[in-house]
């Protein structure tokens, strides 16, 4: 489908009453500007009513083939001073990268006559050749023969080694008896005989090894006759795939407002991973900025939202707004936004400034605190102020790492602090052994049907978008949460959480994920919708005192 030359979209209604953004959106943590909300409303209306192409977003059709997508809008001003917006989607829709109404990709790898398609065809041909060669039944026959020969040789050699050990022990006994019962000449003759027996067994071991090595090599040669060609083709496929990928990286070239181009390889070579991750440059935000710079449109603000069925791993809700991903987009957008006045990164502002930590309990070896909301447990990359720093300042003679367990910055509630290394070890052991009892209270942004249950979803970090977590059955760590409803009111549900494990963001993921409670915690800016706070509080804590062993129970009611 051909792409329109001018994708600048005007607003359907007057925007004279709206103030333009003072600075461009900080893409990795933002609240959409009102004009972006208006643009999103128009784009979503278009998605609901257009009939030029079909894509299964999950509203109808097979649930197995449903694929939701991230969409983005970029508020722009043209050379005539008119304000409108551009639209984009991430990846592919309707099996294509280019659709009318949406900006094109930075580089269209699916161009029919392009090098990538041709390279993919060549890779497919090599793969088919490999498949045909691997299907030769003689390969399985010679593999079986090689395995049998190696196993037979191993057993034969092991059997002979066992006989050598028995023979060595027998000769030693015979030598001792001969020494006691024979004269010197006869004893020397006996030693000579025993030595010959030992040499014969060693020579036989040598011959056995040679024989079975020869037999295995013959089988290996028979197998290699058929597999060497496969090895060569696989090496050829690997080299071609690498070359194709590098050429792709070179063709993804990104502009900034000063007209400076940088390709993916140049952009990512200064990052820790150095190599661009899969899909880099295919997200909506880089596409939007690229088109704007190419057509002399001034970027004013942006917003991205999810449309359609939630994926099975990450948390994405229909029509919810999301920040640009860090792993793929941050290096690219850092270049593209160079020289543009961007909103300050709110994550660089110390949220704990002016807040105090309340002491719930203290003695000579431990302290229990009520951590305020928006307060780091340990120093972050950019902010040092934290529970650790405050405790170090309050207890300067304390030794060890102090922090026994952590709460997310956004979570309030009970934390236990150890004042020396030995106590830290004893307390931490209780957490590791899961003998500590914890109860959280949370407010969910929706109504739950059931009254209680257990969520069992394994978790791992999203490597492309830290610190987000994913549900992953292949590489994730076991994560279980027991929950029960306290109350339902105003389309919200208040619940108790009893975490059986303690994974990062466990309660937040188990709440929001489609296979969990499918209802995010109110104020969850990563997996739900931002509010004045995250409505999650560590309410009770029960453990044994590290020195007296007495059972201790602490409780601080949530402020919500």
Residue 295, classed as helix, strand or coil, is coil
Q: CB of 386 within 8 A of CB of 406?
A: no
Contacts of 384 (CB under 8 A, 6+ apart): none
Helices 184-251 & 115-134, crossing angle to 10 degrees? 150
CA quadruple 145, 150, 156, 162: dihedral sign: negative
Contacts of 454 (CB under 8 A, 6+ apart): 480, 481, 482, 483, 500
Nearest-angstrom CA–CA distance, 441 and 496: 5
Out of 239, 408, 449, 525, the active site residue is: 408
Nearest-angstrom CA–CA distance, 531 and 468: 18
Separation in Å, CA 313 to CA 114, 469, 504, 515: 33, 9, 15, 9
Does the active-site annotation cover 408?
yes
Nearest-angstrom CA–CA distance, 100 and 50: 11
The secondary structure of residue 500, as a DSSP letter, is S
Separation in Å, CA 440 to CA 408, 435, 507: 13, 16, 9
Nearest-angstrom CA–CA distance, 86 and 288: 7
Q: Angle CA(444)–CA(448)–CA(452) in degrees, nearest 5?
A: 100
Residues belonging to the active site: 408
């Amino acid at each position: 489908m051909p792409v329109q030359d001018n994708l600048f979209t005007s607003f359907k209604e007057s925007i004279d009453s709206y103030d333009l953004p003072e600075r461009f959106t900080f893409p990795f943590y933002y609240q959409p500007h009102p004009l972006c909300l208006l643009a999103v409303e128009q784009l979503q209306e278009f998605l609901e009513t257009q009939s030029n192409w079909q894509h299964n977003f999950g509203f109808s059709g097979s649930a197995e083939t449903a694929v939701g997508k991230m969409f983005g809008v970029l508020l722009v001003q043209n050379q005539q001073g008119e304000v409108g917006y551009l639209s984009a989607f991430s990846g592919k829709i309707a099996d294509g990268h280019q659709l009318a109404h949406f900006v094109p990709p930075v580089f269209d790898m699916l161009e029919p006559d392009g090098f990538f398609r041709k390279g993919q065809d060549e890779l497919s041909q090599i793969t088919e050749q490999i498949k045909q060669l691997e299907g030769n039944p003689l390969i399985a026959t010679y593999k079986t023969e090689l395995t049998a020969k190696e196993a037979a040789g191993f057993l034969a050699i092991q059997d002979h080694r066992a006989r050598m050990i028995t023979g060595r022990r027998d000769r030693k006994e015979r030598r001792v008896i001969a020494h006691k019962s024979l004269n010197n000449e006869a004893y020397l003759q006996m030693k000579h005989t025993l030595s010959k027996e030992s040499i014969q067994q060693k020579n036989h071991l040598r011959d056995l090894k040679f024989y079975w090595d020869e037999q295995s090599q013959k089988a290996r040669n028979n197998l290699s006759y058929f597999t060497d060609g496969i090895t060569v083709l696989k090496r050829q496929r690997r080299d071609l795939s690498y070359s194709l990928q590098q050429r792709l990286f070179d063709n993804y070239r990104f502009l900034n407002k000063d007209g400076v181009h940088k390709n993916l390889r140049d952009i990512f070579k200064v990052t820790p991973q150095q190599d661009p991750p899969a899909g880099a440059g295919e997200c909506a935000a880089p596409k939007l900025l690229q088109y704007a710079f190419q057509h002399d449109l001034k970027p004013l603000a942006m917003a991205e939202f999810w449309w359609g069925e939630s994926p099975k791993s990450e948390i994405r809700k229909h029509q919810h707004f999301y920040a640009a991903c860090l792993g793929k987009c941050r290096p690219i957008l850092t270049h593209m936004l160079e020289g543009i006045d961007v909103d300050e990164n709110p994550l660089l502002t110390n949220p704990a400034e002016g807040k105090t930590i309340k002491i719930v309990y203290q003695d000579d070896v431990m302290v229990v605190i009520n951590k305020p909301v928006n307060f780091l447990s340990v120093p972050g990359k950019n902010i040092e102020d934290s529970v650790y720093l405050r405790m170090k300042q309050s207890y300067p003679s304390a030794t060890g790492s102090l922090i026994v367990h952590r709460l997310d910055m956004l979570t309030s509630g009970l934390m236990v602090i150890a004042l020396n290394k030995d106590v830290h070890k004893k307390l931490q052991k209780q957490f590791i052994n899961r003998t500590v009892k914890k109860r959280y209270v949370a407010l969910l942004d929706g109504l739950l049907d059931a009254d209680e249950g257990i969520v069992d979803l394994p978790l791992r970090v999203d490597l492309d978008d830290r610190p987000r977590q994913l549900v992953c059955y292949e590489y994730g760590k076991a994560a279980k949460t027991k929950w029960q409803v306290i109350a339902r009111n105003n389309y919200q549900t208040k619940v108790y959480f009893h975490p059986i494990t303690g994974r990062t963001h466990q309660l937040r993921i188990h709440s929001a994920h489609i296979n969990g409670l499918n209802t995010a915690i109110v104020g969850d800016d990563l997996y739900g919708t931002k509010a004045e706070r995250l409505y999650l509080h560590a309410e009770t804590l029960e453990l044994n005192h590290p020195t007296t062993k007495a059972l201790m129970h602490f409780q601080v009611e949530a402020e919500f």
